Structure 1
Amino acid sequence: MKIRFFVLLSLLISLVPTAPSLAAGDRFALVIGNAKYPDADAPLKEPINDARAVADELKRDGFSVELGENLTGDAMRRAFDKLYGKIKPGSVALVFFSGFGIQSARQSYLLPVDAQIWTESDVRRDGFSLETVLGELNTRGAGVKIALIDASRRNPFERRFRSFSAGLTPVIAPNGTLVMYSAALASVVSDAGGDRSLFVQELLKEIRVPDLMAEETLNRTKMGVTRASRGEQVPWISSSLAEDFSFIPGAGGSRPATPPPPPPPAPPAAPAVVANNPPPADPAPAPSTDGGPSAAALADDPTIKSLTAKIAANPDDVNALYRRGQVYASKGAYSLAIKDFDDTLRINSKDVEALNNRCWTRTVVGDLQGALKDCNEALRLRPNFVDALDSRGLVNLKSGAVKNAIADFDAALKINPRLTSSLYGRGLAKQRNGSAQEGALDIANAKAMDPNIVQEFASYGVR
């Protein structure tokens, strides 16, 4: 389920300052996924998918994104130089790296796939110092520097040193910098073997929540990773941001709550007989067809207002349509969200994220046949797409096809064993299928990882 994070919790960092000095186009990102290191026993499974998912999200928020996969040292150097060359005074510059990292001489180094490392001096020769990268971005005039580093992995290079410190080390960064490591200082985590790392799953979930400031988004990511791993993985954050920035342009500052169910319509009042009827008052904004708020009622929301302006200027702005659909869904305006996802898919019928989000939204409003069609198409285009498996499990659960729901949730949990929505959904499906004890265990485990999961499913109409 891709939009479920909106109703409880809701790129990478479309960070725009609250002050209007930063132009919307002055956001640049370099996203690197390095997986094929010859010295490793096998290619890493997560970095490429993680990098692609992060790059897609950043593009949706208006970043100019360069994506690099399995970069050699020369290719990484060219990629960083290209990023440096784009920076203008006041720009936002973001670096995402997934692969192997290593600390040496109290600095953290990002490693290209062709690094030849046998001594610590080789680290400084072949690796890329994170402090140096951030310092260069600052020198070029970047107002906001962001580094999201998923490189706290045990790697074969470290074992070659007689003495070494595992993981990454604190970064000494210039003012206006926000840095996040996927794990605590000097600690390592292993790839889970799924499509994406736990860190990136939680990061993407929180980045898509409208109306959050960047630091809050990363803090919520940290809490999500810590909770889902039961304390085994605790990300590290360092910030010297002087101003608030938001991942979503035009965001306010508070996290949206679960939209309450619409109140029942009041009975019509009996007509009053008066001698002189007063002029009629201006009509209140009509609700959307699903009972949620109307477009007029949400028009002044800063995020929606900004996205609507983009769509007015370019009706085929697929990123703005998709993003506004997500925000509408977070506000409970499901019919408006579906319309935006319809338009997104009109422009690009193979947008699996939009298909999955429309599947989820249709499920919430009860269009289970349309939802199932969307999820099936998303999974045809991207087999083993964990979010679509999770969404289709909810469709089957709501429609009473509990065996199919269990199969979908099983498949999602095989990819991501800590996916609480699939764990809780499977528990409900098992109970409805007659396996009360097994279902209760799944439900208890899901509630232990996410105490809000019961409220989340209630908002979907599932109890």
Structure 2
Amino acid sequence: MKIRFFFLLPLLISLVPTAPSLAAGDRFALVIGNAKYPDADAPLKEPINDARAVADELKRDGFSVELGENLTGDAMRRAFDKLYGKIKPGSVALVFFSGFGIQSARQSYLLPVDAQIWTESDVRRDGFSLETVLGELNTRGAGVKIALVDASRRNPFERRFRSFSAGLTPVIAPNGTLVMYSAALASVVSDAGGDRSLFVQELLKEIRVPDLMAEETLNRTKMGVTRASRGEQVPWISSSLAEDFSFIPGAGGSRPATPPPAPPAAPAVVANNPPPPPVKPVDPAPAPSTDGGPSAAALADDPTIKSLTAKIAANPDDVNALYRRGQVYASKGAYSLAIKDFDDTLRINSKDVEALNNRCWTRTVVGDLQAALKDCNEALRLRPNFVDALDSRGLVNLKSGAVKNAIADFDAALKINPRLTSSLYGRGLAKQRNGSAQEGALDIANAKAMDPNIVQEFASYGVR
């Protein structure tokens, strides 16, 4: 249930070095979602949504992003060539691929939708070797190469000339490379058929945790996927980064990340919470400090907030900077400041469903439930079946005592994403309050097994 800081899947990375060695414009990403393979029984349900969520997130983070959907071999070749042409010495280059992948001759290949594969040689003819892609990026001078590959799926191609699907294989990559597969080497996972893959859900959540180095972010993603799948899916990571990089320092996940930087005992709804020591009680802050969180003055020296504030000062209508600063404020428990930034984001673009969802969630935490419900309803009107807004509205209804409506929202969210722990736990609480103690206890137990921190997370929202 963490603030939907992408919104965003799904991916990724506004990688910024801890030392100022890269210019702000030297970050390039190619995001590909391939779903409609004619040789498959049915289109994959996750890659397009995953790719769009990742592309949206990267754009918010200042990446120059190219998004490709259902690319043929010729289209993938042109997309890679375009990426190669942008690279300058020291650039950060990121490739995200969701679709079918296959290993051949100890290399992993990304497959276009028109791949015609009947033999091993067809793989090398029609597929795109991940090692070759990373090598070309390195040759062009990229200082940091990132590959995030959600392609460990059973596919129809391997079965034609093998007795089983073997997943992907290790990458022999140049220095300065970070690679992550959605599942372990030589293993496959089924397409769950949800709104997003489990891999992208966890990745988008973790890259928004403030100030994590990239390797730690991916390790946390790995642990999240492993925990949520109960060990059935364990991502694989390989790193040869020579420097520390962080995924947008200071920017949290789609709701304040777990664990949030703000003290867990400082939920916005507890009126007698003492403010953190740095806060001056007389500090008015840009918005009334009704949440007991830090003031603008107390957070002014935070590097990310300082940078975003400078961008907003230069351009008060910089919607990406306003949205991102709202996320950072929310992740630090400064909810009034976050709401103000989401207000300004929506003033510029009233149809920004991510900002509506974030403001809904933040208003819920501070107890402004009527306004929160209005935000969530509008987000769902603009994007029906938006799982994050369903999850947020479930929390609104739970806190307001409309437990039947809460159960309906959490049911709808879990139908889209059965592993959404926050909806599972919230539904358990709602069922208990609706008189179904045994059913509720089962949901709560399952949610706690998937995420041991879920009880503390809800407590920080003022829900016990």
Q: Tell me, yes or no, if the aligned pair for 2:2 and 2:254 is still in contact at 8 Å.
A: no
Instruction: State the Cα deviation string for residues 176-209 of structure 1 (Å, max 9, x = none).
Output: 0000000000000011111100000111111122
- Take 2:268 and 2:160, find their aligned partners in 1: how far apart are those partners? 89
Residue-pair matches, total: 457
Instruction: Decide whether the 8 Å contact of 2:10 with 2:54 is kept in 1.
Output: no
SS of the counterpart of 2:103? strand
Identify the residue that residue 201 of structure 2 maps to in structure 1. 201
Unaligned stretches of 5+ residues in structure 2: 274-280
Q: Cα distance, 1:393 vs. partner?
A: 0.3
Residues in 2 aligned to 1:406 and 1:382: alpha-carbon distance in whole angstroms = 20
163 and 19 in structure 1: CA distance in 2 versus 1, 3 angstrom threshold: same
Change (3 A) 1:105 1:362: same
| 8 Å contact kept, 1:2–1:387 | no
1:264 to partner: Cα distance: 21
Q: Summarize the Cα distance change of 1:151–1:439 in structure 2 as closer, same or farther, 3 Å threshold.
A: same
Displacement after TM superposition at 1:290 (Å) = 2.2
Distance in 2 of aligned mates of 1:77 and 1:264: 41
Is this contact kept in 1: 2:339–2:359, CA < 8 A? yes
CA pair 11-287 structure 1, distance change in 2 beyond 3 A: farther
Change (3 A) 1:314 1:264: closer
Maintained 8 Å contact 2:33/2:50: yes
Return the alpha-carbon distance in structure 1 between the equivalents of residues 366 and 14 of structure 2. 30
- Per-residue deviation at 1:289? 3.0
After superposition, the Cα gap between the structure-2 partners of 1:52 and 1:283, relative to the gap in structure 1 and judged at 3 Å, is closer
Per the alignment, do residues 341 and 286 of structure 1 end up closer, same or farther by CA in structure 2, a change over 3 Å counting?
closer
Report the CA distance shift for 1:267/1:443 in structure 2 as closer, same or farther (over 3 A). closer
| Alignment deviations for residues 235-286 of structure 1 (CA, whole Å, 9 cap, x no partner) | 000000011101105789999987xxxx999999999999999xx9999999
Displacement after TM superposition at 1:69 (Å) = 0.3
Q: Which residue of 2 aligns with 1:367?
A: 368
Answer yes or no: is the 8 Å Cα contact 1:375–1:391 preserved in 2: yes
Is the CA contact 2:260–2:332 (under 8 Å) kept in the aligned structure 1? no
TM-score for the superposition, normalised by structure 2: 0.91
Q: Distance in 2 between matches of 1:144 and 1:220?
A: 20
2:311 corresponds to 1:315: no
1:302 matched to which residue of 2?
303
Distance 2:263 2:67 in 1: 57
Counterparts of 1:271 and 1:184, CA distance in 2? 38
Report if the CA contact (8 A) 1:25-1:64 is conserved: yes
Moved more, 203-212 or 26-35: 203-212
Name 2:192's counterpart in structure 1.
192
**Inter-CA distance 439–273: structure 2 relative to 1 (3 Å threshold):** closer
Matching residue of 1:268:
264
**Percent of residue pairs bearing the same amino acid type:** 99
Contact 1:2–1:353 (Cα < 8 Å) also in 2: no
User: Does structure 1 retain, via aligned residues, the 8 Å contact 2:447–2:454?
Assistant: yes
The residue aligned with 2:131 is 131
1:108 is paired with a residue of what secondary structure?
A: strand
User: Are 1:386 and 1:412, in contact at CA under 8 Å, matched by a contact in 2?
Assistant: yes
Q: Residues 130-163 of structure 1, C-alpha deviation per residue, up to 9 Å, x if partnerless?
A: 0000000000000000000000011000011146
Three-state SS of the structure 2 residue aligned to 1:149 is strand
Of 200-209 and 105-114, the range deviating more from structure 2: 200-209
Which whole-Å CA distance do the structure 2 matches of 1:274 and 1:41 have between them?
Answer: 53
> Are 1:46 and 1:195, in contact at CA under 8 Å, matched by a contact in 2?
yes
- Asked whether the 8 Å contact 2:268–2:292 carries over to 1, the reply is no
Deviation at 1:288, TM superposition (A): 2.2
CA contact (8 A) 1:2 1:357 kept: no
Give how far 1:292 is off: 1.2
Deviation, structure 1 residue 6: 12
2:192 partner SS: coil
Q: 1:291, CA displacement in angstroms?
A: 2.0
Cα distance in 2 between the residues matched to 1:257 and 1:272: 15
CA contact (8 A) 1:6 1:256 kept: no
Query: TM-score, normalising length from structure 1?
Result: 0.91
Cα pair distance change 1:179/1:354, threshold 3 Å: same
Contact in 2 for aligned 1:10/1:208 (Cα 8 Å):
no
Which whole-Å CA distance do the structure 1 matches of 2:391 and 2:177 have between them?
35
The change in CA–CA distance for 1:160 and 1:461 in structure 2 (over 3 A counts) is same
- Matched-pair contact (CA < 8 Å) for 1:6–1:209: no
Q: Is the 8 A contact 1:28 1:92 kept in 2?
A: yes
Deviation, structure 1 residue 310: 1.4
Name the CA shift for 1:300/1:255 in 2 (closer, same or farther; >3 Å). Answer: farther
Offset at residue 96 of structure 1 (A): 0.2
The answer (yes or no) to whether the contact 1:182–1:199 under 8 Å persists in 2 is yes
Q: Deviations over 1:311-366 (max 9, x none)?
A: 11211111111111011001110000001111111111111111100000000000
State the shift of 1:5 in Å.
8.4
The answer on whether the counterparts of 1:101 and 1:152 sit within 8 Å (CA) in structure 2 is yes
What SS is found at the alignment partner of 2:168?
A: coil
Distance in 2 (alpha carbons) for counterparts of 1:179 and 1:264: 26
Change over 3 Å in CA distance of 1:376–1:264 after alignment to 2: closer
Tell whether the 8 Å contact from 2:5 to 2:252 is kept in structure 1 after alignment.
Answer: no
1:351–1:283: structure 2 CA closer, same or farther, 3 Å change rule?
A: closer
Q: Which has the larger radius of gyration?
A: 1
Q: Output the CA distance in 1 between the equivalents of 2:344 and 2:284.
A: 28
Secondary structure of 2:5 counterpart: helix
Aligned counterparts of 1:397 and 1:273: Cα–Cα separation in 2: 14
Change (3 A) 1:250 1:138: farther
Q: Is the 8 A contact 1:393 1:422 kept in 2?
A: yes
- The answer on whether the counterparts of 2:131 and 2:172 sit within 8 Å (CA) in structure 1 is yes
Alpha-carbon contact 2:115-2:126 (below 8 Å) kept: yes
CA distance in 2 between partners of 1:60 and 1:97 (Å): 19
